[in-house]
């Protein structure tokens, strides 16, 4: 998803901090925590969380907490599930797994927890 499409769809102002944050989230193409990208950012922690909060409020970004108690963020393209490994804490997007829609509910994320393929084979 392109930044310009996101901005047009949501009609928010595009500050340099928002552009930078969206570029990183799109480039990573997987759930990331603040700790994963803090060295890439030219903004302080408060600016990061203020903008992430705004992105969540207008449904640009999805977030969830992992086993390591960190919050992970990703650009919300299409709803999909995530798998979190209980051994290595790796997070994997499961875009091919379909889940049922619940009438009257808006499902944003389903999280599966267990042991990943790498940990199972070691």
Q: Residue 69, class by beta-carbon neighbours within 10 Å (0-12 exposed, 13-18 middle, 19+ buried)?
A: exposed
| E runs forming strands in the chain | 32-33, 61-65, 71-75, 80-85, 91-94, 109-114
Domains of the chain: 3-75 (1.10.10.10), 80-121 (3.30.1490)
pLDDT digit string, tens, across residues 44-92: 999 999 999 999 999 889 999 998 899 999 988 777 889 999 999 999 9
Q: Is the pTM of this model over 0.75?
A: yes
């Amino acid at each position: 998803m392109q930044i310009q499409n996101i901005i047009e769809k949501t009609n928010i102002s595009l500050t340099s901090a928002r552009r930078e944050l969206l570029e990183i989230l799109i480039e990573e193409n997987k759930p990331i925590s603040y700790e994963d990208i803090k060295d890439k950012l030219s903004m302080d922690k408060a600016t990061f969380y203020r903008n992430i909060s705004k992105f969540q409020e207008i449904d640009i970004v999805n977030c969830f907490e992992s086993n390591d108690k960190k919050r992970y963020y990703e650009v919300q393209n299409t709803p999909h599930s995530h798998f979190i490994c209980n051994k290595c804490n790796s997070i994997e997007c499961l875009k091919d797994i379909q889940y049922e829609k619940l009438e009257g509910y808006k499902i944003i994320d389903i999280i599966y927890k267990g042991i990943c393929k790498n940990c199972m084979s070691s």
